[in-house]
C-alpha cells in the first residue's frame, strides 16, 4: 500500500497542492477492480469514499482510548471526550459558526431535519401557519413537514421547478409571504445538481418574519460554506457525504432558536437534573444529544474535516466544476442520451443526471457496473422531481475531489456500450 500524503491539519486552508495522483493514493478503495475493470466510483452524491486518515482514526479510537464521553473522570474517558469535542470545534470552524454550542451531532441530515420539524415545528407552528419547501427537495425535506401538517394542521406549499431543474423564483416571491413561518429549502439538488439561489430566498423569508432551514446534505461537502454569510437559521448536513463515516449528521442552529426549543429525545446526558417528579435539561448542545453518541465516527469525522480543509473548499469546487464541464461536453452528443438539470453549469454542482431513450435507468446502471463504473439509478429519493420530468427515474453520475477526466472517459465509453447493447442505431 502506498504511503498516504502527510499534511498538517492545522495549516491554513488550501495550502495542500491539489494533486490528483497524491489524493487518489489516500483512498484505498480506488485501487479496486470491479468485474475485471478498474473501479470508477461516481456515486458520491449518495456517499463519498473515505481516505486512510479517516479509516485509521476509527481504529485509533477503538485501539487507544475507547470509552464513553462526558461522564467519566478516568483518563480514557477524558481523552475520548476531548477528541469528540475537538470535532465539534472543527465543524464550527468549517462552516464559520459563532459557537460550538450551536453544533448538534445527529445520525444524519434526515435526523437533523426531523429534529427541527419535531422540536421547533411542534412548539412554534400553529394550525394555518405555512411552511414553504420546493419541488427539488429530497424526501427527507418533504416527509417530516407532511407529517407535521397532518399532526398540527400547518399548510405546506412548494416552489415549483422549471424543466431545466431551476426554481421558479417568481412563484417563490408569490408564495413566501406573511403567512409563511418557515422556509425549508435545499441548497443543492441531489437529483439534478441544481444550486439554489439561497440569498434571495432567505432574504425574502426573513423579510416576512419566517425562519429558514437549509438542507446542506449535497452542498456542504462541495461548496465553501459560511453560515454567517448564508444568513439561514438552521443548516443540516451529513459526514458520510464529505469523506467522513456513516452515522454522523450535524444540525447547526442559531443559538437563540436552539435555546428556545425543547429536547427532541429524552434520556441520559441531555438532562441537568432528574427526580421522580420532573427533569430539567442540559445546556446546549447536549440538550439535543440523548444517550451514548456515535463517538468513534464523530472523532473520525474530525479527520475528514482536516482533509478537506487542507485543500480548501474553493479548490474542490473548482475541480468538480471542471469535471462537470468536461462530462457534459463528452456526454451530450452520445446516441439516445438525455441530460437533465441546469444548462448553466455555474448553477449546478458536480452531478450529471441522464437517461437513454427506451432504456430503464436500472438497466443502464447494471451495464455500467459490468464495466466497473458505479453510478446511482432510480428516483434518488426525489420523486416529485421525476414526476415533474415525466420519467420514472434517472441514471446519475456524481463527482468528488478524487475523480478524474479519465474516469469521465470511462463513463462515456460505458454509456456508449450500453447504448449499443440496447440497440441504438447510431452507435
* Grid cell digits, residue 274: 432528574
Residues 246, 240: contact at Cβ < 8 Å? yes
Backbone φ and ψ for 85, nearest 5 degrees, come out as -75, -25
Question: Strands 103-106 and 130-134, how do they pair?
Answer: unpaired
Catalytic residue among 381, 386, 391, 427: 381
Q: Distance between CA 218 and CA 238 in Å, rounded?
A: 9
Q: Distance between CA 53 and CA 60 in Å, rounded?
A: 10
Residues near 75 by Cβ (< 8 Å), separated by ≥ 6? 65
Q: Give which of 208, 177, 176, 182 is closest to 125, Cα–Cα.
A: 182
Can you state the percent helix, strand and coil of the chain, rounding each to 5?
40, 20, 40
Q: Distance between CA 426 and CA 206 in Å, rounded?
A: 53
DSSP state of 399: -
- Mark whether 381 is an active-site residue: yes
* Grid cell digits, residue 66: 475507547
**Which positions are catalytic?**
381
Amino acid at each position: 500500500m502506498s504511503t498516504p500524503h502527510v499534511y498538517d491539519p492545522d495549516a491554513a486552508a488550501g495550502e495542500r497542492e491539489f494533486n490528483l495522483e497524491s489524493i487518489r493514493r489516500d483512498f484505498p478503495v480506488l485501487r479496486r477492480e470491479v468485474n475485471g475493470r478498474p473501479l470508477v466510483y461516481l456515486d458520491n452524491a449518495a456517499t463519498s469514499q473515505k481516505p486512510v486518515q479517516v479509516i485509521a482514526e476509527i481504529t485509533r479510537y477503538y485501539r487507544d482510548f475507547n470509552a464513553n464521553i462526558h461522564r467519566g473522570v478516568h483518563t480514557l474517558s477524558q481523552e475520548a471526550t476531548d477528541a469528540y469535542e475537538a470535532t465539534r470545534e472543527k465543524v464550527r470552524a468549517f462552516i464559520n459558526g459563532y459557537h460550538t454550542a450551536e453544533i448538534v451531532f445527529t445520525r444524519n441530515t434526515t435526523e437533523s431535519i426531523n429534529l427541527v420539524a419535531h422540536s421547533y415545528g411542534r412548539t412554534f407552528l400553529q394550525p394555518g401557519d405555512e411552511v414553504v419547501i420546493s419541488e427539488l427537495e429530497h424526501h427527507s425535506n418533504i416527509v417530516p413537514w407532511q407529517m407535521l401538517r397532518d399532526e398540527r394542521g400547518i399548510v405546506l406549499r412548494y416552489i415549483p421547478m422549471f424543466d431545466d431543474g431551476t426554481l421558479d423564483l417568481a412563484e417563490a416571491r408569490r408564495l413566501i409571504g406573511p403567512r409563511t413561518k418557515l422556509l425549508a429549502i435545499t441548497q443543492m439538488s441531489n437529483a439534478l445538481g441544481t444550486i439554489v439561489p439561497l440569498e434571495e430566498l432567505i432574504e425574502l423569508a426573513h423579510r416576512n418574519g419566517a425562519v429558514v432551514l437549509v438542507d446542506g446534505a449535497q452542498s456542504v461537502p462541495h461548496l465553501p460554506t459560511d453560515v454567517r454569510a448564508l444568513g439561514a437559521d438552521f443548516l443540516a448536513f451529513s459526514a458520510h457525504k464529505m469523506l467522513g463515516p456513516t452515522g454522523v449528521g450535524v444540525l447547526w442552529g442559531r443559538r437563540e432558536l436552539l435555546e428556545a426549543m425543547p429536547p427532541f429525545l429524552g434520556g441520559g446526558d441531555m438532562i441537568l437534573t432528574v427526580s421522580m417528579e420532573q427533569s430539567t435539561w442540559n445546556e446546549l448542545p447536549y440538550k439535543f444529544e440523548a444517550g451514548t453518541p456515535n463517538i468513534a465516527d464523530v472523532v473520525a469525522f474530525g479527520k475528514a474535516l482536516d482533509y478537506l480543509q487542507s485543500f480548501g473548499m474553493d479548490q474542490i469546487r473548482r475541480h468538480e466544476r471542471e469535471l462537470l464541464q468536461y462530462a457534459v461536453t463528452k456526454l451530450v452528443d452520445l446516441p439516445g442520451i438525455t441530460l437533465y438539470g441546469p444548462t448553466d453549469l455555474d448553477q449546478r454542482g458536480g452531478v450529471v443526471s441522464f437517461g437513454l431513450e427506451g432504456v430503464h435507468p436500472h438497466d443502464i446502471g447494471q451495464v455500467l457496473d459490468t464495466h466497473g463504473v458505479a453510478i446511482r439509478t432510480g428516483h434518488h429519493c426525489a420523486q416529485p422531481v421525476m414526476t415533474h420530468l415525466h420519467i420514472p427515474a434517472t441514471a446519475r453520475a456524481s463527482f468528488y475531489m478524487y475523480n478524474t477526466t479519465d474516469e469521465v472517459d470511462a463513463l462515456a465509453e460505458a454509456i456508449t456500450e450500453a447504448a449499443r447493447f440496447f440497440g441504438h442505431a447510431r452507435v
